[in-house]
Amino acid sequence: MNSHFYCPLIKSFSICFTALLLNSSVPAQTNTRDSSQFPSIFNIFLDDVKVGLSDAGSYYSIPFRLSKTDWIYTVGLIGLNTLLITFDDDIKQLVDKDTKRSLAGDYLEVPIRYGQIECADILSIGTYATGLFLKNDDVRITGRLLFESLSFAGTVIIVSRAIAGRSRPFVTNNPWEFKGFQWRFRSQAFPSGHTTVAFSISTILAERIDNIWARIGFYGLASLDAFAQVYNNQHWLSDVVVCAALGIGTSFYILSLDENRKNKKSLNIFKLTIIPTLNSIKVIYHLE
């Protein structure tokens, strides 16, 4: 199949497939009231913007709210990943695939496409738009959660790559080559954007659909993407392990915020007020 049509096909299929799965898991909603009694699409969208910004404030303030125990776990994870780096070159030699290409035209092309941010963005926005215009809360919230997870984890990826400047495996056999503040593709191995995207999407979809087959399918697809990054010499093993944890952790945190919101409990330390005015929008942030 022509590669130019391959990714859009996956995008379209993913959006429809996700919406159908989510719709099948919720009872059909009957419209017994006049449509004028329902919130307008703009008001629903504005509420979601407020929720997203509030979640962002909560997510990015996590380092300032970690307990001593949390910091011990964090340092421990950093230590484990440092230990894992010592095995990176051994894993590379074990795989022993000499390539500089992300897409090699083999069976791994599907999971690699799955981890592309372009596909992920269209999936999240398409799912959200479907739920918004059909007024299906489950589909709309799933789309919003997807977008939040991708955006929040993506910011961490961009900052980390700029700071680390780690050389990719096809450039060097030295896994300790961190040059710092490099902007070239060949020097942005850590962390793996593909793996973060794949696990962010898979965690949200698997947990929202909430059945064993969804978990096997989505987590399996994300794991294949992680394997493909190492197999195609794009990333070291330690890159993808860190990013799998980042994608899963970010998504579960966002899911927990949504669950607590439903239960009228607040994990956020931020309250947001958005007031439309004649010529602008006033945004007020309350810090508690």
142 neighbors 131 (Cβ within 8 angstroms):
yes
**Distance (Å, rounded) from C-alpha 254 to C-alpha 136?**
20
The band of 179, judged by pLDDT with boundaries at 50, 70 and 90, is: confident
**Distance (Å, rounded) from C-alpha 70 to C-alpha 230?**
30
Q: Which residues contact 151 (CB under 8 A, 6 or more apart)?
A: 56
- Percentage of residues in the chain with pLDDT exceeding 70? 74
Radius of gyration of the chain (CA): 21
pLDDT in tens, 261-276: 888 754 444 555 555 5
pLDDT for res 14: 53
Q: Is 57 exposed, middle or buried (0-12, 13-18, 19+ CB in 10 A)?
A: middle
Give the mean model confidence (pLDDT) for residues 66-86: 89
pLDDT in tens, 212-263: 999 999 999 999 999 999 988 889 999 999 999 999 999 999 999 999 988 8
Segments of the chain assigned E as strands: 270-276, 281-287
Report the predicted TM-score, pTM, of the whole model to 2 decimal places. Answer: 0.77
pLDDT for res 97: 67
246 neighbors 196 (Cβ within 8 angstroms):
yes
The CATH number of domain 39-287 is 1.20.144: yes
> Which residues face 178 on adjacent strands?
166
Domain segments of the chain as ranges = 39-287
